[in-house]
Amino acid sequence: MKSRFVTCLPLAAALLASSAFAQKTTVEFWTFNLSPFAPYFQDAVKKFNAANPTLEAKWVDMNWDQIQPKLITAMAAGKAPALVNFNVPWTHEFARKGHLQALDGLSNGASRNVYLPVALDDLTVNGKVYGFPFYNSVSVIAYNKDLYNKTGINAQPTNFNEFIAQARQIKQKTGVAAFSPKLATKSGDGGMARWFMYLGLPVVQNGKAAFNTPEHAKVVDLFADLYKSGVVPKDSFRLEYEQEVAAYSSGKLAMMTTSSTALKRVEVDNKAMYNKTDIMPFPVAEGKMALGAWLMSYVIPKGYPNTEAATKLGLFLTSDEQQLAIARFTETMLPSSKKATEDPYFMAGKNSKEPIERARAAAAQSMKYARTPMLPPNALPDEATMMKIFNDQMQMAIEGRKPTSKALEDAANDWNRRMAKK
C-alpha cells in the first residue's frame, strides 16, 4: 500500500502542476513602435508573471498604423487584448464611440494619486478616465551658448513674451534665426493650431470654428512679424524635425524647441555643437500647457472579459517603478506618474555637463503642465482637408501674401460650412 502511495505522488504533483498551468489567464497587451525597447518589456513581463502566478502577461508590438485596424478586427471577433497602447486623440475617439472600458479606479479611486493630474485630465471623457497614463514628452529649449553670449541675455524666459523678446534680441545681435516655430505640417505635428492652444485660445467651440477673433489675429500677426524680420527662418514651413536638427547642428538656428531625442541626433551629427549646447525649460503660457506634450496610455477595449486582470497589468505597467524603469532604459521617455517624475534620476541631471541630462531635468520640471493639445474628437468632418485649408491660410498670412483677417475669415468660413453639413 505504501509503495502504491509513493508511486502515485509524482503523478499527483504533475496533475497539480498541470492544473495550475491550465488555470493561468493570458493577459495580452499591445504597444506600437516600441520594439527597440524589447529588453525592458521582456523584463517587465517577467516581473509581472512572477508576482501574479495565475496570470501570464504577453507583449505584442506592432507599427502605429496597424494597431487600430487590428484592434477593431479583434474586437469584432470577440478576441480583444487586455490592454492597448493609445495616444490621447485615439483614446477620446474610441471612448466616445463606446469601444473602451471606463477605469473606475482612476475615475474615483485611490489609484488616481499615482498619476499627475494633467495626465488624468488628458484621458478623461465625460467625467470618466479611459486610460492608464503611460509615457509622455515635452519640449525644452536647447540653445547655442556661443551665440547667446553675444546677446547679453543673462536670464531664462519666464513667459512666452519674454521668450519672443529674447528671440528678437538673438536675431538682432547675431544675425542668426532664433528658432523654428514648427510651422511645417507634413509630419502632422506642426502648424498654428497648436500655438493657439498653447496660448489658451480655442480652435473649435460649440461645433464652429473659434479662431476668427482679434486675439487669434494678434498671434498670427506676431508670427508674420517674426517671419518678416528673420527671427524665424524663411523656410519655416518646410522645416520638419530632421531639417530643424540639421539647421541647429550647422549653426543656422540659435535654438531648438525640442525633446531629448533631437539632442541625441545633435550629439551624433555634430559633437562640437552638442558640447556648446545648454538647456532651459520652455515657458508655460496662458494655456497653462507645456509645449510639445504627447501622452501615451494603455486602454482596456470594450468586450475584454477579465477587467480585473487587465487593470492589474495596467497599474503595474504604469506604476512609478515601471515608468521610471522605461524612462531610464530609453533615456528619452518621461513618466506621467508623480513619484517617478520627482525621482533623483531626473533632477540629478540639472547640473550635469551633458546637455541631454540637463534636458531631462528641465523637461521633468515641466511635466505638471504636460497637456496633449488636441481638437475635440470628431469635431472636423474631414479633418485632413480642413487642416490643410487652415494651414494653407495661415501660411499665406504669415508669409505676407494675404491679410491675416482675410485668411482667418476664409478658413473659418470653410470650416463652418463643412461642419454645418455634418
Tell me, rounded to whole angstroms, the distance of Cα 363 from its chain centroid.
12
Compute the distance between CA of residue 373 and CA of residue 89 in angstroms, rounded to an integer: 9
Min mean pLDDT across 47-56, 287-296, 404-413 is at 287-296
* pLDDT computed for residue 407 by the predictor: 98
Percent of the chain whose predicted confidence (pLDDT) is above 90: 72
What does the angle CA 286 – CA 292 – CA 294 come to, to the nearest 5 degrees? Answer: 115
* Measured distance CA(166)–CA(152) in Å, rounded: 10
pLDDT at 4 over 50: no
With H, G, I as helix, E, B as strand and everything else as coil, classify residue 299: strand
Q: How confident is residue 260, by pLDDT bands cut at 50, 70 and 90? A: confident
Closest CA to 177 of 257, 231, 229: 231
Q: What distance in Å separates the CA atoms of residue 29 and residue 42, rounded to the nearest whole number?
A: 12
Secondary structure of 25-86 as H, E, C letters = EEEEEEEECCHHHHHHHHHHHHHHHHHCCCEEEEEEEECHHHHHHHHHHHHHCCCCCCEEEE
Q: Which phi-psi region, left, alpha or beta, contains residue 73 (left: φ > 0; alpha: ψ -120 to 50)?
A: alpha
Give pLDDT tens digits for 167-197: 999 999 999 999 999 998 876 567 999 999 9
Please report which confidence band the pLDDT of residue 258 belongs to, taking 50, 70 and 90 as the band edges: confident
Residue 7 pLDDT: 47
**For the residues 221-236, what does the mean pLDDT come to?**
97
Give CA separation, 266 vs 147, 259, 270, in Å.
Answer: 17, 12, 6
Residue 22 confidence (pLDDT): 57
pTM of the complete model: 0.82
* 3 compared with 324, residue with greater pLDDT: 324
Per the prediction, the chain carries an average pLDDT of 90
Q: Is the pLDDT of residue 117 over 90?
A: yes
For residues 223 and 212, give the distance between their C-alpha atoms in angstroms, rounded to a whole number: 16
What's the confidence (pLDDT) of residue 414?
97
Q: How confident is the model at residue 114 (pLDDT cuts 50, 70, 90)?
A: very high
Q: What H or E segment, with its residue span, contains residue 125?
A: strand 124-125
Q: Quick one: pLDDT at residue 302?
A: 95
